[in-house]
Structure 1
């Protein structure tokens, strides 16, 4: 009997969001921990683990072999979704990279037809989550839920999206990004919607300590940059500082609005 893989909190959250019986492709799979777990737990029937770099690619192959799953998990070396043939996967998971790179991988894959038949995306960007949220909306994927969690002193967000063909009729991008629940009189609807992209439409509707902590930290970071800019006489520095102060004001307004909503922890 092969030993059951134990996932980190972050990978476990991704695994929990994958639909049962989906054929999964895990892109940037590293040690193939997620595919191995999904097969071992009986949640998924087959998987493709894609990895660009030779070290992690070899490690993934070793992990799959040790789990006795070489017939059910294919480990492939290649860049992003290039490892996939159209129609091979129902679900694509990508985790542990910046949002900008993640959106580039998704877009290159989409243009090459690799997302044909992919119903579900479970994505965990380390930064730049709004870039991923905007890509999803632009290409017909609808967020179903978002999770936020803390592990080893870092806060992570996990996004779960379905292609609009498979999204329940009650869940549409228009509804998800409807920002009127943020009661901030001084802010336009367009500005509020922008904060939904940045902070997460589900996370804002279900405010948690982690969300507050993340954005308080971001606010502190902007404050430090503004102090440095304040020491410069350049006109560009004044301009940049004014822009960042506007951003800080937005964070303050959203967090204040959330505090008046019912607090919850996750």
Structure 2
């Protein structure tokens, strides 16, 4: 059995939010690296690794065997949350895909979530889609962090089930309620870049043959929010 396994910086941060001793599922598991890492560091953890394609499924099975974890990490081939039985896990991780796809996976697997108390999502883009889904389905965004890796800034969003759920404004959905409050250094880096991108997009839409006024108005509103947020704190270091 090999105990040596290193994760990327972003997946290490995802792992740090996984509850000790929990039975969890990692959907779109990327060769089961995260489940193996968690189970190697937590002897009471049990994981299900979901893979939608045959190649990563076989690779995950090999990794699990290499680390001597075949009795604690179960790799399953299937689409999204369909690899799970309802009530089988208490925590779900979905990392490394777009926010819109994460939302779709959660929507299509809602019948498997009755016992899921925590959802940890790491969308590559479209983070607002994940936050909207969480607050619309009785989960409170309890933690958010940003991680820079390979020239990209990732957001990790943690949602915990709450009886009364949570209501977020459109502004909080865009920036993240905790990130908006904390404004770490990476927050300014990301949103300065996003401001420039959106500004160019608005100009391109205005110059189109048939401008979409509704879309232009939505992007312009976001531009205003970003400008306000970036200008609210004089210390952008």
Give TM class, smaller chain: over 0.9
Which residue is 2:176 aligned to? Answer: 200
May I ask how many residue pairs the two structures share in their alignment? 237
- Give the secondary-structure state (helix, strand or coil) at the position aligned to 1:95: strand
Give the SS at the match of 1:36. helix
Q: Which runs of 5+ in 1 are unaligned?
A: 178-192
Work out which of the residue numbers 227, 230, 235 in structure 2 matches 1:252: 227
Q: Give distance in 2, aligned partners of 1:90 and 1:57.
A: 23
- The aligned residue for residue 98 of structure 2 is 98
* Higher mean C-alpha deviation, range 5-14 or range 39-48: 39-48
Aligned with residue 173 of structure 1, among 158, 166, 170: 166
Larger radius of gyration: 1
Preserved contact between residue 3 and residue 40 of structure 2 (Cα < 8 Å): no
1:125 alignment counterpart: 123
Q: Distance in 2 between matches of 1:152 and 1:107?
A: 30
* Structure 2 match to 1:77: 77
Normalising to structure 1: TM-score of the pair?
0.83
Q: Name the counterpart of 1:158.
A: 156
- CA shift digits 1:93-135 (9 cap, x unpaired): 000111111011111111xx21121111111011111111111
Shift of residue 161, structure 1, vs aligned partner: 1.2
Aligned-CA RMSD value: 2.0
Deviation at 1:230, TM superposition (A): 4.8
Matches of 1:220 and 1:43 in 2, distance apart?
A: 47
Match of 1:114 in 2: 112
SS of the residue 1:26 aligns to: strand
Aligned to 2:186: 210
Superposition TM-score, scaled by structure 2 size: 0.93
- 2:14 corresponds to: 14
CA distance in 1, matches of 2:134, 2:156: 14
Mapped to 1, the partners of 2:75 and 2:214 lie a distance apart of 50
1:14-73 per-position Cα deviation (integer Å, ceiling 9, x unaligned)? 000011111010000011000000100016521100000111111111110111111111
Counterpart contact for 2:50–2:78, Cα < 8 Å: yes
